[in-house]
Every structure is written in structure tokens, then in C-alpha cells.
Amino acid sequence: MQTKDSVDDHHLGNVRFELDISFISAEMNNSSASSFTNHSLEPMKNNLLFEKLRDRMRRRLNPALRKVQPFSFNFTQVEDVAITNGLQRGKECYDPFDVKISYNHQCILVSAHEAQSIQVFDLQTRKLQFSISTGYLNPCYMAIEENYSTSSKNRKYSDALLLNECESHYCNGYLCKYDLESLLELQQTMTNSQYNRSWIWKADGLEFPEQAIVVYSIHSENMIYVCDSGSTCVRVISANSGTTLSTLSFETPIHHPYGLLFTNQGDLLISQGSEANRIELFRKNENSANWKCIKTLQNKGAETCFVNAFYLHHEKETDHIIVSACDDNELQVFTNDGTFVKSCKIDTPSWSPIGICLNELTGELYVCGNNRAAVRIYK
């Protein structure tokens, strides 16, 4: 079991990639290699095993290994993708909550809260392929853990789906991890009871999980940082087992956290609801495990609060932040230090944006319209 301090430092691995000789040595030993020293590194550069290990390490820190097309921040509307209850019924679903992309499985996932399903769209055509029933559970926030395992069929990398589900009216929430390949393959024959038993793990100790992010590491297992609004805290969870490893400590209390992200500098941004209604930027103290608030973001640059800022999106290439200002019916952009840049007022009344996702292949931004049965695409 890792210490609390070591767990909290894991997000720093996202900032840069370093070739860890000791890690290679350990991997060589696990592969029954006879010996390995630092001096033997140079002759190994053309060695297949070395290339395999290097690829594995790079994928742990940068799972995509793809050239990312950043968002332009012009907010030019491209298309509205309709969200329905499924191919058969064709009934509109007025509560799409979150949207995510799996590049390994070439699909767009939309959590349809009221329809109690996950809508699966083709990544290229954006056409609805099928709907995965979540039984009696209402799906909310999602996250993708890329390359979490190797497919049993073709030995290619497979993704995991991290899904926040609640029983009704945002009560009794759960965070579960699913093998995405299995969900996609079994969707045609899976019953509700089979779905409810198909998770890899179900996280314990969370009262009501909100937005979660995956932090990748080459040194050990991946970590999941998740807002627990029910306990008004941020938990750190093992991506392998779902076990809670630690709870982040703050110099001043946070209140009902909804969304979170790490900047490229390792600062932590948290949106809060209830009596707080604010978004704060935190930095970890050098001499302790506590996180200190260094700035409170201002709604459109003015000293007003954020009401129901349910989701925070990090544009990694520019290190900019996009806030889903649900009650204001707009998206707001900030720099990594919390400086307001611009806002995009959504021209459709009561769109109520929540989940956001960047298509890294096209640079298009996908935004869930929680009250409008659609995902809007901007470029």
C-alpha cells in the first residue's frame, strides 16, 4: 500500500515523460532476462524487448500516442447529434448527461440519464449504433481509462469505462469500472441483471461520486481522482481494484465538489456547489500534504458565483480550462492560472451544458445539452 503523500504526487507524472532505468530493469527481470545494467542500455536500442518496454511506458503516461488536434476556441457550431432512447423506440431522451470518446473502440459514448442507458455512436459517422441498458440505474459522469488491458482476441489495447450511476433522482450513487470491449460485444444479448453484475469493480466508501479523472503512471498503477459531493471531499482510488487509497486534505474546507481537473503544472481545480457555488484553484504545499487555495475563479471575469458548474474540461494542448456553466447556459474559458479568457453563450434556450469532451482527432468539442436531447459539436 502506498503512502498518502506518494499517491498525491502521482498527478505530477502527467507533466512529463522520463525514461526510468530502474523500471526497465524490473521489467527485464519479470521477463526472465539474465542481467541488465545501465551500461547495457545503448546496445539495446534496436532490441525488440527494449522497444516493447519503451512503448509500454509511453502508453502508461500518454495512452493515446496520437497527434492531438487542439480546440480552436472559436466555438463555431458544426452539428447537433440527437440523443434518443434507442433505435427501436426513437423517443427523444431529454437528459443526456456526459459524453466520452473511445479511440481504441472507435465510438462515442453518451450517458442518457433518464433513459437509463448509454448511447453508442460511431466515431467517424456519428450515427447511433445501439443502446446499452443500465437497468434501473441512471448513468451520469463517465471517464475512459485508455489501454487498461490487452484484448483477449487480437492482443490490441482495450479501454475501461468508469461510470457514475445513481438509483434515482441523483441518490445512492456508485462508481463502477467496466471492460468497454465486453459491454460493446454483449449489448445485444445482455439483460439488466447481467449488466448489473458485469463490472470489474464497484468502489466502496463513496456517498455520491461526481466527476472523475484518470491519472496515469509508469511507476505503478493508475489512479482515479473523484469528487464525492456526499462526503464533500476528493477521493483517490486505485484504478486496478477500486479501493480508496486516500482523501485529499485542504487548508480550507471544500463544499460539495462537482468537477475537477489537473492543469499541466499540477495545480488542482475544483468546482463546488451547495452553499459554496464557486470554482477554486489549489496548489499542493511543498512542506505538507495539504492543498492551498491560490485563486477563486470569477464568473465571466466578474465577482459573481458559479451556480451548478457541474463539469470542468482541461484542454491539455493549450492548458486552458472550459467550464460548463449550466445555469448560465454557457461555456467559459480560463487560462491555467484561472484568468478569464472568453465565454460562449449557447443560443438554444435552456440547453444546460454539462459533460464536455474533445475529439482529439478533429479538434471538435462535444457538449451535452442536458435539457435538449442532443450533443452539440463545435470547432
pLDDT in tens, 243-298: 999 999 999 999 999 999 999 999 999 999 877 899 999 999 988 889 999 999 99
Task: Note the pLDDT of residue 86.
Answer: 52
Please give the grid coordinates belonging to residue 91: 423517443
Segment 203-216, tens digit of pLDDT: 978 999 999 999 99
* Cβ-based neighbour number of residue 30 at 10 Å: 8
| Polymer length in residues for the chain | 379
Q: How many angstroms separate the CA atoms of 233 and 273, rounded?
A: 12
Segment 123-179, tens digit of pLDDT: 999 999 988 888 888 899 999 999 998 766 665 789 999 999 887 655 668 899 999
**Is the torsion defined by CA of 86, 202, 165, 244 positive or negative?**
negative
209: nearest Cα among 177, 251, 250, 240: 177
Please give the grid coordinates belonging to residue 83: 440523443
pLDDT at residue 43 greater than cutoff 50: no
Please give the grid coordinates belonging to residue 49: 524487448
Task: Note the pLDDT of residue 233.
Answer: 97
Chain centre to alpha carbon of residue 127: 23
Segment 192-250, tens digit of pLDDT: 656 666 899 999 789 999 999 999 988 778 999 999 999 999 999 999 999 999 999 99
Task: Note the pLDDT of residue 373.
Answer: 85
- Of 21-35, 86-100, 259-273, the one with minimum mean pLDDT is 21-35
pLDDT band at 77 (very low <50, low <70, confident <90, very high): very high
- Helix (H), strand (E) at residue 18: none
350: nearest Cα among 378, 321, 314, 308: 308
Task: Note the pLDDT of residue 28.
Answer: 34
Q: Supply the mean pLDDT for the chain.
A: 81
Please give the grid coordinates belonging to residue 319: 492548458
